[in-house]
Each structure stands twice: as C-alpha cells, then as structure tokens.
Structure 1
Amino acid sequence: MMGGMKTTSPKKPLCLLLVALADEYKALLHERFELIDAPTAALRAAAIAQRGAEIELVLSNGATGLRAEEMDAMPRLRLAAAQGAGYENLDVAAAKARGLAVCNGAGTNDSCVADHTLALLLASVRALPQQDRALREGLWRDALPLRPSLNGRRLGVLGLGTIGRKIALRAQAFEMQIGYHNRRPRPDAAADWAYFDSPRALAEWADYLVVAAPGGADTRHIVNAEVLAALGPQGHLVNIARGSLVDTAALAEALAAGRLAGAALDVYESEPRPPEALLGFANVVLTPHIAGWSPEAIRATVELFIANVQALDQGQPLLTPL
C-alpha cells in the first residue's frame, strides 16, 4: 500500500449453486465466485427473490434444472450450467432465446457411471444381495440356485452415447455380445456391435438390457410393458439413465408375474422417494442415483464448470455447450 491508498481485489461474480456439494468442492467455487448455496426449493426461491438482480452464473443439474421465469428474474445472468451430462429440466430454449450461454458436464462422470452399471448388472444377474443374505442366514451354495454368468451373453445398450459406449466396452471385457439402439447407427460403434431400429427389437435379441438414453419427453416410458415382454423371463434390466425412461408400474407387474428375472436400478420416477412398487421384490437391486458420484467425478464436474466460465469470460467457445 502506497500513499495511503488501498488496493482492492476485483469483485467476484455471483454464482447461484442449486445442487448439494461437499465443502471441499464448494471451496473450489468459493475461490473464484461469490457463492449462494441454495440446494433446497426454499433457499433457491429466497436467493432469487433477494439477489436475483446480481446473479451472473447458475450451476444446477438435470433433475433440479432452471426455469424460464427464474432466468427472467436474473437480468445479469450470463451462464446456466448443468453439473452432469443430463439437462432435462434446464430450459435450454428459454436460455438461448435470452442469449444466455448454456453448458453441461458431459464426460465428467461417464467412466464412473459405466463402472456402476457393470456392478449393478453383476449384482442382478449373479444375485449378489440375495447370496449375501443367504450366507448370513446359514445357507451354503448347495441350497441356492445356480446363477448365470455374463460371458457369452447378449447385452443390449439402449442409448449409445458416451456413457453407453463405455458400458459396451466394459461389457466386451466380460466377453459379452453387444447390441444397441439409437435414433440412428453410431459411426463410432465397433463393427461387431449389432444395431437395432427399435427398443423392442433390441430387447428381443438381448439377454440383458441396459438403459443409458437421455431423459425428457421423447424417451418417457421407452421401456414399457411391450419391451419388458420382449426381454423375457430370463432377462435382466438395468437403468442408470433417468427414472422416466422405465414404466415403473409395468416393471412391477412383469416382476410379480415372473416375466422378468430381475432388475437393478439407480434412478426412479419417484426420486428422491424410493420406488414403492418395487421395494418388495428380492430380485431388484436399488441404489440412490449414485452411479455418477465419486470424489473424482464430482471434482471433475466442478472443474469443468469453472473452465466453462473462464472460456466465457475470455470470449472463447464453451467446452461443453448445449
């Protein structure tokens, strides 16, 4: 300090955080932004009402989203971001109509989700929760039914995006045959991956079906009673995408009637409430929308958000624009 004059740091941009983050990841944001931590509906409404005129950045996720009227209440908003790959409840059209930058966290947790998917598939097919329970109750293997293995089986991947592709590559390491359905064949699919032009056709071919397509109105209940019937009584269903893609009532009905061998789900139509219709089935494995969560993945999503803000500030293209 010279001549009695003070030097002041540039004012940090105000960022509204709409998702719950551990302190160590929020610290990364605090270094660069003034942060409003608003992970609940009440805190969110209060933050927008009290400081909407100052907010420049919003970090949300696909389930939490950001509505058009909320954007309208933030005249200085420059960037609306989804933390992960999904952005189904982020009003991208409204943001673009206002000239806002919009991005997501594509690629940050793909490997984590793919790892969890194979864990769910193994848990369902090999009945790991049931076998754990049986052993604790004093039963040995001779009293338990034999469970199939993965090798040589047909895995159908419904949605061959970046996550679906990583799932398929991992399944290949288990010597599984790979088939997939997408809106169109993928040029980056391996030559021996079979393409099917509908979810039903894929399910008819597959032994096990993994749901990895985006959420939204276009894919709601894409796995319905017809698709489950095509998968058949020896089939297993895994959903790591969005709960809306699977008709929960149809799934419960198929399981109750013995028309499906098992299911493993990380996402639900009812979340964050558990899927009541599925809780009574011993052949259903449930995890709390945790497939994309690991220390590495969460840090990567925060670092990517910061990198997108830096690109915006420098007049450069966003790294993961929508």
Structure 2
Amino acid sequence: MSRGGTVLVQVRGALAARVAAAVPDVEVVAVPSEGHLPPDVAGEVLLTLPWGSPNLAEALARGVRWVHVLGTGIDAFPVHLLDGRLLTCSRGGSAVPIAEWVLAVMLAFEKRLPDPWIHGVPRERWGRMALGTLHGRTLGLVGLGGIGMAVAERALPFGMRVRACRRTDAPPPLAGIEPVGSVADLVASADHVVIAAPSTPATRHLFDASVFAAMKPGAHLVNVARGALVDQDALQAALDDGRVAMASLDAVEPEPLPEGHWMYDHPRVRLSAHVSWSMPGAADVLIDHFIDNLRRWRAGEPLSGVVDREAGY
C-alpha cells in the first residue's frame, strides 16, 4: 500500500508547486517556516530547509515520519530534534558545478591566471612566462562522495594522477583512482589537494599544522567542503612560509569572514563567497532528488541520500 499521502513543505512556493505537479497523487501543503502551523495540518513527510526552521519541532509533531533537507549536507541541521525519524538530503545535487569550479581553479593555478593577460605591448614578457599543466600532476582528494567522484571523473581525462582518502576501506568506484590510507600520506605527494569531505565533529580541523607540515612543498589547496575542516591559523602559517603555494577557498569559517580578516588580502589566497554550487536551475536539481525519493517512499522502496546519524552525514 502506498504511503506519504500528505507532504508538508517549508520551501518557497515555486518549488512546492513543482513537487505537486510531479507527484499528483499526494497532497502538498505549504506550511510556514516561522510561527505556528495551522491546527488542522498534518503529514507523514516534511520538506524543509538545510538549517531547519524555528517551528521545526511543531512541524515534526504533526505526524512526520520522514524529513528531507533541501540541501546537500546536514551540518547546520538540528538533527537532535528528529527522535529517530528518517532523514535524507539531496546529497550530490551540486556535484557537477562544484567539480567544474575545482577544475577551473586548478587550471587557473597551473596557467597562472589572470597574470598572462596583457595590456599594451609588454615586449619584455612576450613568450617568456612559464606555465604549468594538469597533465602529469597528482590530485589528492579528501572525500570520495558525489563531489569527489565528479572531480575525479573530470581530472582523469586531463592526464592527472588521482589519489583519494575516504572514510571506508571500500575500493574506489572508478577505475584510475588510487586509494590512500591517511590524509598525511595523501598530501605528501599531491600537487593539488581538494577537500570534499563532510563537516562532522570528527573532521573539524582535519587540516591542522601536522597535515600542512606533511604537504608537498608548493601544493595548491582547494576547499569546497566546509570551513570547519581547516585550521585557518595553521593554514596562514603554511601560506606564509610557502609550504602551501595557493589556497582556493569556497568555504571558510565563519561565513562571511569579518571585516579586516587576513584572508581577504593574502596574496596566496583566492577566496570566493561559497558559490561553487551555483548553476542555472540549481534548486531544481535539489528538488528533483526529493521528488524521486518521494516516489520511492510512496512505493515502499529504499530512499537515496539517507543520512547516517553516527557518521554525521
């Protein structure tokens, strides 16, 4: 027998309408994310925001059995309120644009962009700038989920050697990826180090002074995960002494950084405002993941993007 006849939705109206149109045999009820819910509203499924909502506890009490977070992670979500309810997220939904952003900053590092662009006729520099290639470089991936895999899939055709460190001992799901047992071993040989692991208590300041000391001199650090994974004081020291040649950061802590923070003006930092996920229709991709899961839920099938409470993601 099918289930999940009523879905409570705490996201903007256009996305709620998309759910209703895609799964017409369920009742989609838009409910506020602040203030009290109407007294007669109830449902088995709740679609909510990545950071939860002020009235989340009240919404959960309306018969909710499954919660889907419209985001790719749950590090900002109040999981403790769920009391054993099923929790999913749109994990991997932003993997493509983030992977492209990673390739873009790695290419920018090797090609020294924007330095080669010229204005006028700089005769002393004509044809005399030494540039690098991705071909032959070693990529070290910390995390091999949707984002890490998307980066690997794009890096391998460039001729990069791809090595990865992940939480499990399972073999990499893509031929050409070399598994590495520890982050310290990974960074020792990597020209480009990409952080794509989830933010959990276990990964906080995963990149500390000891990891930076183990890095290959002159390496390029890329963070598309969360700022909490990097000890930013240790990063500053590694940048200042040249151990890390460049840090391309789409995630920092806190966000936004306060006025006058050293990262804004450091010559070895390329900082973006947590926008690597951005692409046309980004929200549609996330909502489509929920729609697919809703159909599975109705059919009694296993869901994708299920959060492992113990692992924290």
Matched residue SS, 2:108: helix
Residue 311 of structure 2 corresponds to which residue in structure 1?
A: none
Matched, 1:15 2:9: yes
Residue 48 of structure 2 corresponds to which residue in structure 1?
A: 59
Matched, 1:81 2:75: no
Residue 205 of structure 1 corresponds to which residue in structure 2?
A: 189
Residue 4 of structure 1 corresponds to which residue in structure 2?
A: none
Match of 2:30 among 35, 38, 60: 35
Contact 1:196–1:202 at 8 Å: present in 2 too?
yes
Matched, 1:126 2:111: yes
Offset of 1:245 from its aligned partner?
Answer: 1.0
Contact 1:16–1:55 at 8 Å: present in 2 too?
no
Residues 314 and 182 from structure 1, CA distance in 2 versus in 1: closer, same or farther, beyond 3 angstroms?
closer
Residue 142 of structure 1 corresponds to which residue in structure 2?
A: 125
Offset of 1:94 from its aligned partner?
Answer: 4.1
**Aligned amino acid, residue 125 of structure 2:** D
- Distance in 1 (CA, whole Å) between partners of 2:80 and 2:171 is 28
- Distance in 2 (CA, whole Å) between partners of 1:16 and 1:294 is 23
Offset of 1:130 from its aligned partner?
Answer: 4.2
Q: What aligned pairs does 1:255-274 form with structure 2 within 5 A after superposition? A: 255-273=239-257
Q: What aligned pairs does 1:184-223 form with structure 2 within 5 A after superposition? A: 184-190=168-174, 192-223=176-207
Matched, 1:114 2:99: yes
Deviations 1:22-67 (A, max 9, x none): x754652575633346xxxxxx4xx1x3227646423222xx2468
Offset of 1:268 from its aligned partner?
Answer: 1.2
Contact 2:9–2:16 at 8 Å: present in 1 too?
no
Contact 2:60–2:82 at 8 Å: present in 1 too?
no
- Distance in 1 (CA, whole Å) between partners of 2:83 and 2:301 is 17
Matched residue SS, 2:236: helix
Q: What aligned pairs does 1:147-158 form with structure 2 within 5 A after superposition? A: 147-158=131-142
- Distance in 2 (CA, whole Å) between partners of 1:140 and 1:255 is 32
| Bigger helix fraction | 1
Structure number with the bigger relative contact order (C-alpha 8 A, sep ≥ 6) is 2
Deviations 1:116-160 (A, max 9, x none): 21112222332324445xx35975782775232111011111111
Residues 240 and 190 from structure 1, CA distance in 2 versus in 1: closer, same or farther, beyond 3 angstroms?
same
Q: Which runs of 5+ in 1 are unaligned?
A: 1-10, 38-43
Offset of 1:13 from its aligned partner?
Answer: 4.4
Deviations 1:264-292 (A, max 9, x none): 11111111447922111233222222222
Residues 176 and 254 from structure 1, CA distance in 2 versus in 1: closer, same or farther, beyond 3 angstroms?
same
User: Which range is displaced more, 148-157 or 182-191?
Assistant: 182-191
Residues 228 and 303 from structure 1, CA distance in 2 versus in 1: closer, same or farther, beyond 3 angstroms?
same
- Distance in 2 (CA, whole Å) between partners of 1:157 and 1:146 is 26
Contact 2:145–2:197 at 8 Å: present in 1 too?
yes
- Distance in 1 (CA, whole Å) between partners of 2:169 and 2:8 is 43
- Distance in 2 (CA, whole Å) between partners of 1:55 and 1:129 is 55
**Which ranges of 4 or more aligned residues in structure 1 deviate by more than 4 Å?**
23-27, 29-32, 136-141, 189-192, 313-316
Deviations 1:99-132 (A, max 9, x none): x231111232222221121112222332324445
Offset of 1:241 from its aligned partner?
Answer: 1.2
Contact 2:250–2:274 at 8 Å: present in 1 too?
yes
Contact 1:112–1:291 at 8 Å: present in 2 too?
yes
CA RMSD of aligned residues (A): 3.1
Residue 5 of structure 1 corresponds to which residue in structure 2?
A: none
Offset of 1:249 from its aligned partner?
Answer: 1.8
- Give the aligned length: 292
**Aligned amino acid, residue 204 of structure 1:** A
Match of 1:320 among 300, 305, 310: 305
Normalising by structure 2, we get a TM-score of: 0.80
Contact 1:262–1:284 at 8 Å: present in 2 too?
yes
Contact 1:66–1:89 at 8 Å: present in 2 too?
no
Residue 266 of structure 2 corresponds to which residue in structure 1?
A: 281
Contact 2:208–2:234 at 8 Å: present in 1 too?
yes
Residue 310 of structure 2 corresponds to which residue in structure 1?
A: none
Matched, 1:50 2:31: no
- Distance in 2 (CA, whole Å) between partners of 1:66 and 1:141 is 59
Matched residue SS, 2:193: strand
Contact 1:208–1:231 at 8 Å: present in 2 too?
no
Normalising by structure 1, we get a TM-score of: 0.78
**Aligned amino acid, residue 15 of structure 1:** V
